[in-house]
Structure 1
Amino acid sequence: MTIDPPDFDAAFAARLDTLFAWRRDVRRFRPDPLDEATLRACLAAAHRAPSVGNSRPWRFVRVSDPARREAVIASFGQCNALAAAGYEGERAARYRALKLAGLKEAPVHLAAFCDGETGTGLGLGRGTMPETLAYSVVGAVQCLWLAARARGIGVGWVSILDPCAVTEVLAVPPAWRLVAYLCLGRPQEEHPDPELERHGWQAEDPRGAELYER
């Protein structure tokens, strides 16, 4: 049985483009708690993401335990200090001035893992490119991010972490590999441009918007 799809007209496409433009990596959060139903709606959107062989290998873990949160924050502090030491002079000063995570302020922490031993999909499509299993988790993160943005929720992806330490702290199954550690909450401020551009860390690289022909 087939059904007619919704009419995604030009007005809808324009609003969708606006949503993409306003999806930002948020580091400054208000401490207000998030409504559980809204969070679940964002997770439902994540579960609609494409995945290799329809494997759906993402596993989301909400980190609510204060001790575990503090351990993640400590990992960020250690990794951030090491990263800062890799820069010199003015660039080092600029790095230290950046706010690179909202771990202390965000009301919700979500860790996104890839279940490397999932039997769902029976391995379809990833025999020659097994990394597509983890890429599928990234797709789910992006769907969650856009669903959150549409509901006024900011998301920040924290990558300055020791994945092995975080995985151990969260006591997940051995086959789960950390793909993303996310902070969610209402943003303190709204900007249409990336924070790293706004604070002079880098200029936009136009190459990503180019189409190469072969």
Structure 2
Amino acid sequence: MDVTEAIARRRDVRREFTGDLVDDDVLRRLLGAAHRAPSVGNTQPWDFVVVRERATLRRFAEHVASCRADFAASLPPERAATFDPIRIEGIETSGTGVVVTYDDARGGDHVLGRATVRDTGLLSVALAIENLWLAATAEGIGVGWVSFYDEAFLSELVGVDGTGVRPVAWLCVGPVTALPDVPDLERFGWRSRRPLDDAVHWERW
């Protein structure tokens, strides 16, 4: 699979995990792809906490379910009905969570390229996540990005609380039955993809 196909086939996986663990060698390749991402000032401000203990997965899944329920309760009725079938399962069935963190202090006070745009450090972590995701897609491995959580809860769960290190993403990683042809958020009517021509501007907005 070339990179263009991997980009087109990449999906945020929720319900398609087989329940089998991703092979350790495959996981290491995916983490290696993430670790080869470009970063501001070559700071490589990411770390990867691999979570496989069943009790930890269950505890996080319960927390996420509670956060999801709070979000659902905040929606107007028509949006709540659209949201209801969009599930965030996968934390336990994937069997592997990869928590990607960001260390703003890595590289010291004088990070080349970050002096005027502080967010370049955080954006570097996003590039590492995308590298992992595309590498996983090319290997037929599913990835689901979980974002229904309280940051303080996840910091405590993986032991980075009080360190200044932020958890940026919990990624569910594991073998899948198939990657969906249509992304869930489009398939269930939450939001459609914008046409490219609507997003491209020439010279000015």
Relative to the length of structure 1, the TM-score reads 0.87
**Matching of residue 184 in structure 1 with residue 173 in structure 2:** yes
Instruction: Compute the displacement of 1:189 (Å).
Output: 2.8
Structure 2: segments with no counterpart, 5+ residues: none
Instruction: Compute the displacement of 1:42 (Å).
Output: 0.7
* Deviation sequence 1:78-129 (CA, Å, 0-9, x none): 2101100111223212212211231121121000000122137951111111
Determine the structure 1 residue equivalent to 2:82.
Answer: 94
The one-letter code of the counterpart of 2:173 is: L
Paired with 1:181 and 1:39, the residues of 2 have a C-alpha distance of: 15
Instruction: Compute the displacement of 1:208 (Å).
Output: 7.8
Determine the structure 1 residue equivalent to 2:43.
Answer: 55
8 Å Cα contact 2:85-2:188 kept in structure 1: no
Q: Tell me: CA distance 1:155–1:209, structure 2 relative to 1, closer, same or farther (3 Å).
A: farther
Determine the structure 2 residue equivalent to 1:175.
Answer: 164
Paired with 2:12 and 2:56, the residues of 1 have a C-alpha distance of: 23
8 Å Cα contact 2:160-2:166 kept in structure 1: no
The one-letter code of the counterpart of 2:147 is: S
Determine the structure 1 residue equivalent to 2:8.
Answer: 21
The one-letter code of the counterpart of 1:133 is: G
The one-letter code of the counterpart of 1:59 is: D
Paired with 1:185 and 1:92, the residues of 2 have a C-alpha distance of: 29
**Matching of residue 195 in structure 1 with residue 177 in structure 2:** no
Paired with 2:130 and 2:174, the residues of 1 have a C-alpha distance of: 16
8 Å Cα contact 2:3-2:134 kept in structure 1: no
Alignment of 1:1-214 (within 5 A): 15-28=2-15, 29-119=17-107, 122-172=110-160, 174-206=163-195, 210-214=199-203
8 Å Cα contact 1:101-1:156 kept in structure 2: no
Paired with 1:209 and 1:152, the residues of 2 have a C-alpha distance of: 31
Question: How many pairs does the alignment contain?
Answer: 201
SS where residue 191 of structure 2 aligns?
A: coil
Paired with 1:160 and 1:189, the residues of 2 have a C-alpha distance of: 24
Determine the structure 2 residue equivalent to 1:4.
Answer: none
SS where residue 45 of structure 1 aligns?
A: helix
Over the aligned positions, Cα root-mean-square deviation in angstroms equals 1.9
SS where residue 98 of structure 2 aligns?
A: strand
Instruction: Compute the displacement of 1:37 (Å).
Output: 0.6
The one-letter code of the counterpart of 1:167 is: S
* Most deviating of 124-133 and 36-45: 124-133
